[in-house]
Each structure stands twice: as C-alpha cells, then as structure tokens.
Amino acid sequence: MPKRKRGITGDAAGRREAIIKRERRVVEIEEERSRRLLTMAQRGLHRRAEETEEPSNSRLSDMAQRGQERTAEETDEQRNSRLAVMAQRGQERRAE
C-alpha cells in the first residue's frame, strides 16, 4: 500500500504557488520587476537563438494564425479601439 502524502499536493499546491508568486509581485519594487522582466526576455532570446528554422517558422505561423483568429472575432468597436491605440502610439513615437 502506498504511503499517504502529507501536505498539499497536485492542483492545490500549484494554485498555492501561483498565489504566493502573485503576492510577491505586488510587493516587489520597480528595480526587481525590471530585473525579472529582463531575465525573462533574455531567456526568450536564448531560446530563439538556439531554435532551428523549422520550429521558428512553426512558432511564427502559430502567432499569425492566432492574430487572424483574434481579428476575425473582434467587433467593429474593438477594432476601432485597437486602431486608435495604434495611431496614438505612432503619434507618440513621432513626437519623441
């Protein structure tokens, strides 16, 4: 007969870890946040640098497909809002 596990296991443990991570993020200072995001970005760059052409093409194709699905499902109001945000960002970039 297998030993009984003690403590939190499975999904409950995963949920608890996620909650703890979220709470930690709330109290982190801007410098810590910047460092964490920079580390994540660097990992992504390393992963892509090691990626062969086939997985790269597959990943880009998946991204394009998701974008097309998202735009196909959006309402006129959502589309107008998205385009207005894009235009605003363009104006801000030109003003710099």
Both tokens of 5, joined, read: 């596990």
How many domains is the chain partitioned into structurally?
Answer: 1
- Residue 53 forms part of a structural domain: yes
- Residue 4 forms part of a structural domain: no
- Residue 44 forms part of a structural domain: yes
With tokens 């109001």, the residue in question is: 77
- Residue 8 forms part of a structural domain: no
pLDDT tens digit at each of 96 positions of the chain: 555 555 556 677 788 888 888 888 777 788 888 998 999 999 988 888 888 888 889 989 999 999 999 889 989 999 999 999 999 999 999 988
Rounded CA separation 70/20 (Å): 32
Domain residue limits at 22: 16-95
- Residue 7 forms part of a structural domain: no
